[in-house]
Amino acid sequence: MSLNAPALVAGLQYSELRHHELRKSRVVMIDGHLTQNSRSSEGGTSARVYRDGYWGFASEPGPGAAAVGRIGRQAVANVQAMARFGARSAVALPTGGYRGEHAFRGRPALGQGEIQQRLAALNDWCRQRYPGLKSIRFVVADEHHSKRLATSTGGDSLASIQRAAFQAIFVAENADGAPVELVEQVSGKGSLADIDWSIATLTPKLDALHEHLRAKCDAVPARGGLQTVVLAPHLAGMLAHEAMGHPCEADIVLGGAVTGGLVGQRVASDLVSMVDFAHSHQGAELMIPVYADDEGTPARDAVLIRDGILTEFMNSRETAARLGAVPTGSARAYAPSDEPLVRMRNTAILPGRSTLSEMIAGVDEGYLLMKTGNGQADSTTEFMFGVTLAYEIRNGQFGRAIRDTTVSGSAIKVLQSVDAVSSDMVWSCSGYCGKKQPMVVAMGGPALRAHARLGGE
């Protein structure tokens, strides 16, 4: 692939060209009945150019030399049209570009027939093992991104990201006849052939899910207000991503996020360090490995918080130039027709030295928050997450399950209150991050003990 076309180079400060293929599949089975079996594939070519402080972007479906010429000319026309809005301060974008290829090599993909057979067998097994369930739903999905990128700064890279997820949803009824449900999931790199969702591996997870569901059928309301909470890794990962991660994306910082004036200041307990990892952690490749972003920038870890101190942000080429920072390789586009935005990759709070049992034992009265179904946060770090599984803690011991509730507060205040961090590290890549366009991301971390506000009766 070449960027030598005059329409892409002449008179511009920067240009890039991307060939992008995205394939997705999704199968849903409800109570043994197949309700969705979809597969999609889209591909396209896009060009983006920078001149006089403005970006011009254009894309169209399909590959080919003819498409390159057309979208190149359209991108240039678009940046010229943007210039009509008036003069804008331009910055000298960082130079350099990544050269290399990273393609995932997994097992041969499962056929649609085999996936359906495995789901049907799993449904029959669950019906026999958990006869009291009112409904059993399974969702399996995978997706593959392949991006070939060339830039006017010398970048020439091939990136491949594949991820797959299995989800089980159990539904029961409480004493009042109201439905109660819980979700368990498995996710990882590759296709559905590369993650282990065999009955043997799922048995302990589904047994635990069933026990939690039975406890939730007898759940009691939480006490509202500020409480001592132990956030299990899934909740801690959500807090790191949604409430603290987004305000550390440099485009949101430039848009007025509260974090913009806090670099070098304490935003968390000294037990808390938080990193957006590029591709590896402790020598192992992570679930969403980004070696070069969609601007061809070599990706590096962004250390957002070190020992409680806010240290840096995730950056694209332009945001790094505007903030006087070093790019982190965080500009990513989800679909072939999407323009790169600053996005997270593998965001996590680093593990500490406590065990979960020690953290619970140190709570006289509080809650263990285990699962969340949704959440929202803003650039002030204020957040609210739904809590779908939680237990009372009394005198250092588990108590009763509580009904669905919410946890909320300021991420900065919650992280400043952290007085224990567990030593384990749990990763997940089953969901999407929403910010003008979806994005595949991974989040992880240990458990945290802190103070947060719960909803209650």
* Same domain for 229 and 212: no
Continuous segment of H or E residues that includes residue 88: none
User: Among 175, 194, 217, which residue terminates a domain?
Assistant: 217
Tens place of pLDDT per residue across the chain (457 aa): 444 444 455 668 999 999 999 999 999 999 999 999 999 999 999 999 999 999 999 999 987 677 888 898 899 999 999 989 998 888 999 988 999 999 888 999 999 999 999 999 999 999 999 999 999 999 999 999 999 999 999 999 999 999 999 999 999 999 999 999 999 999 999 999 999 999 999 999 999 999 999 999 999 999 999 999 999 999 999 999 999 999 999 999 999 999 999 999 999 999 999 999 999 999 999 999 999 999 999 999 999 999 999 999 999 999 999 999 999 999 999 999 999 999 999 999 999 999 999 999 999 999 999 999 878 899 999 999 999 999 999 999 999 999 999 999 999 999 999 999 999 999 999 889 988 999 999 998 999 999 999 997 6
Does the residue 41 lie in any domain?
Answer: yes
Q: What is the pTM of this model?
A: 0.95
Does the residue 1 lie in any domain?
Answer: no
Range of the domain at 96: 6-217
Contacts of 261 (CB under 8 A, 6+ apart): none
Q: 302: closest CA among 284, 327, 283?
A: 327
Tokens of 227: 């409480």
Domain tally, the chain: 2
* Same domain for 279 and 143: no
* Neighbouring C-beta atoms of residue 450, cutoff 10 Å: 25
CATH label of the domain that carries residue 207: 3.30.2290.10
User: Among 191, 217, 243, which residue terminates a domain?
Assistant: 217
In whole angstroms, give the CA distance from residue 373 to residue 448: 18
CB 391 within 8 A of CB 414: no
pLDDT at 8: 56
Q: 189: closest CA among 217, 160, 218?
A: 160
* Same domain for 345 and 267: yes
Does the residue 99 lie in any domain?
Answer: yes
pLDDT at 339: 97
